[in-house]
């Protein structure tokens, strides 16, 4: 018998002072049976960092041809492809061929540096690629905020992120691995 996804309902308030974007989002996230709270919350962070009324979550880990999140225009063209984790060069190049911009939000501690040392040189010429890395403490703290019903506030200023649930606040400073 196949395991079912776990549904997380989230109200996310975003105050992005860097982009002058301020909005409330009612989100439903499905956590795949093989996904942990850390990955789920990194996907939620990616949503907050690139929040837009047209930004959508992909269908999940079981769908290889879709990102964790994507932003499509009214014609259906992909403007932004966001992946989380440590995708391979081939997957990133395929995403770059299908979209105007690709962002990877990498997490996993030391594995991020090992991954980027391996994949980075081959991807250095890909101008439409942006890679951000999270410290292991940051992604672990994000996982600590996970709950089936979340009411979160996210403030972004000067590249620093504060994500709060009312009683706890997690400070995150994504590290840029690619040129600005």
* Structure tokens that stand for 58 in this block: 């992909």
| Integer Cα distance of 37 and 56 in angstroms | 19
Query: Nearest-CA neighbor of 47 among 70, 64, 17?
Result: 70
- Tens digit of each residue's pLDDT (9 = 90 or more) over 140-178: 999 999 999 999 999 999 999 999 999 999 999 999 998
State pLDDT tens for residues 101-152: 999 999 998 999 999 999 999 998 899 999 999 999 999 999 999 999 999 9
- The answer to whether the pTM exceeds 0.85 is yes
Alpha-carbon gap, residue 15 to 4, rounded angstroms? 33
* % pLDDT > 70, the chain: 95
Q: Is domain 6-176 given the CATH code 3.40.50.300 in the classification?
A: no
Residues linked to residue 106 through DSSP beta bridges, in sequence order = 133
**Alpha carbon distance 125, 171 (integer Å):** 31
Secondary structure percentages of the chain, helix, strand, coil, to 5: 25, 40, 35
Is the model's pLDDT at 3 over the cut of 80? no
Share of the chain above pLDDT 90, in %: 86
Q: Are strands 78-84 and 69-72 parallel, antiparallel or unpaired?
A: antiparallel
């Amino acid at each position: 018998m196949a395991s079912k996804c776990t549904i997380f309902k989230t109200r996310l308030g975003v105050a992005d002072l860097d982009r002058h974007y301020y909005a409330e989002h009612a989100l439903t996230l499905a956590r795949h049976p093989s996904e942990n709270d850390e990955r789920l919350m990194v996907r939620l962070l990616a949503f907050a960092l690139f929040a837009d009324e047209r930004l959508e979550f992909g269908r999940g880990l079981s769908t290889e041809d879709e990102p964790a999140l994507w932003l499509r225009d009214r014609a259906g063209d992909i403007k932004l492809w966001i992946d989380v984790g440590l995708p391979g060069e081939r997957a990133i190049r395929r995403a770059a061929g299908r979209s105007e911009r690709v962002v990877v939000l990498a997490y996993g501690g030391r594995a991020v540096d090992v991954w980027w040392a391996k994949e980075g040189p081959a991807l250095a010429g890909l101008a439409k690629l942006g890679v951000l890395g999270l410290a292991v403490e940051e992604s672990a703290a994000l996982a600590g905020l996970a709950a089936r019903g979340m009411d979160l506030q996210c403030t972004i200023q000067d590249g620093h992120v504060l994500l709060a649930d009312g009683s706890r606040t997690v400070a995150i400073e994504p590290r840029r691995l690619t040129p600005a």
